[in-house]
Amino acid sequence: MSNSRWKQRPEGSNWGDFGADDQIGRMNLLTPERRLAAIRTVQHGQTFCLSLPLDYPGGNTLFQHRKAPRFFHERRGEGFNFNFKLSSVCSCFSDVVSDDAVMLYTQYSTQWDGLGHVGQMFDADGDGLPEKVYYNGYRAGVEVVGPDDVDDDYGAHAIGIERLATAGVQGRGVLVDLEAIHHRERALVGYDGLMAALERQGATVETGDFLCLYTGFADLILEMNKQPDGDRLKNSCAVLDGRDEKLLQWITDSGIVAICADNFAVEAYPAQPGQGDHYPGLPLHAHCLFKLGLNLGELWYFAELAQWLRANRRSTFLLTAPPLRLPGAVGSPATPVATV
C-alpha cells in the first residue's frame, strides 16, 4: 500500500484506510446511526458544561510554552472600541458598544488536540531517512507549515482543526470514572486498569464512542484558584500508560473516535522510557494522533457530570463538542456539552 505522499506507512497505522487524502481519521467512524444511538441515551434533557473557564489553569507552570488568554482592544477615535459611545458616529445614537480581541493559546485550557499537533520523524518515502510526518503522510514544511518554513501563511493547510469542526463532533460519550477508584492518587492506568474500571461500572465501549476519562485533575486545578502547584499536579490523579502496547491495541480495535480526559495530556508525560535508541516521548499521542488520526481532548471538566452519572448509575451521555472552525490551527479550545 502506498500513495502520493508515502510509500510506507507506520506499523499499526490506518493511513489510507479512510481514503488517500483523508483528514479526519477515526471521526469517519462516527456515522449518523451512531449519533442517533447517542441521542437515544438522552432521558432528562439536563446538560453539563465540560469546559473549564478558559483562563484556568492560571499562569504557565503546567506547561511553560502556553500562556493564559490576553485581551486587546482596537483603538477607535480618541479611545478604544470598548465602552464606545456610538454618539461619536451620529449624535442621534444612544448605543454603547464593545468588541474583543484575544491572544488565545489554543491548547492552554480545555482543548482538542488536532491531528497536526503531534507527528513523528518517520521514513514515509522509503529513502532510508526519516522526515517530519503527520497523520496520513501529511508533511511538515509541505502541508503543515510553520515559521521555520515560510514567512507567512503558515498553519496546517491539511489536517487543520477546521476539518474536525465540520466533521460533526456529536456522539455517545462513555465516562470512565477513574477518580472513584484512584481518588487523587497518581496512578498509571494501562489496559488492565481501564478494563477493570469499565467492568466496575458495567460499561461497554462501542465503535463511534468518545472515551471520556474522569480523573479529578481539572477539579484540582479549579481548587488551586489560578495559582497551580505544578509539582502537586504532576504527581496527582490517574493518567493512561502510553507505553502499554495492550492498551494501544485496544484503542485501535475499540473503534472509539476520540479520548477526552480532564488531565493535562491524557497519558503520563513524560512517559516511561521506551525501547531502543529512538521512540516517541508521547507514545499515546503518537499512536492516536499520528497513526490513527484519533483526536485527544485534554483538560476537560467532568466533575458535575461524573457526580450525576454516579448517582444515576449511568456511564453514557450525548456529547456535543466541536472545536473552533479556525482554519490552519493544530488545536482548539472547546466548550463541550453533555446531555443526559
CB of 129 to ligand UVW, least distance (A): 25
CB of 265 to ligand UVW, least distance (A): 3
Cβ distance to ligand UVW smaller for residue 159 or 265: 265
Cβ distance to ligand UVW smaller for residue 57 or 208: 57
Provide DSSP, 284-335: HHIIIIIII--EEEESB--HHHHHHHHHTT--EEEEE--B---TT-SEEEB-
Counting Cβ atoms within 10 Å, is residue 275 exposed (0-12), middle (13-18) or buried (19+)? Answer: exposed
Cβ distance to ligand UVW smaller for residue 214 or 264: 264
| Identity of the amino acid at 316 | T
Cβ distance to ligand UVW smaller for residue 107 or 201: 107
CB of 98 to ligand UVW, least distance (A): 32
What is the rounded distance in angstroms from the CA atom of residue 15 to the CA atom of residue 25? 8
CB of 65 to ligand UVW, least distance (A): 9
Contacts with ligand UVW by CB under 6 A lie at 107, 113, 117, 264-265, 269, 285, 298
Peptide bond into 270 cis (omega under 30): yes
What is the rounded distance in angstroms from the CA atom of residue 323 to the CA atom of residue 307? 25
| CB-based closest residue to ligand UVW | 265
CB of 142 to ligand UVW, least distance (A): 22
Cβ distance to ligand UVW smaller for residue 130 or 281: 281
Cβ distance to ligand UVW smaller for residue 264 or 302: 264
CB of 40 to ligand UVW, least distance (A): 32
CB of 63 to ligand UVW, least distance (A): 6
Cβ distance to ligand UVW smaller for residue 107 or 315: 107
Q: Which candidate, 111, 177, 148, places its Cα nearest to that of 309?
A: 177
CB of 173 to ligand UVW, least distance (A): 19
What is the rounded distance in angstroms from the CA atom of residue 260 to the CA atom of residue 266? 7
Provide DSSP, 239-270: EE-TT-HHHHHHHHHH---EEEESSSSSB-SS
**140-159 as b/e, with b when 16 or more CB fall inside 10 Å?**
beebbbeeeeeeeeebbebb
Determine what percent of the chain falls in helix, strand and coil, rounding each to the nearest 5.
Answer: 25, 25, 55
Contact 173, 316 (CB under 8 A): yes
Cβ distance to ligand UVW smaller for residue 216 or 242: 242
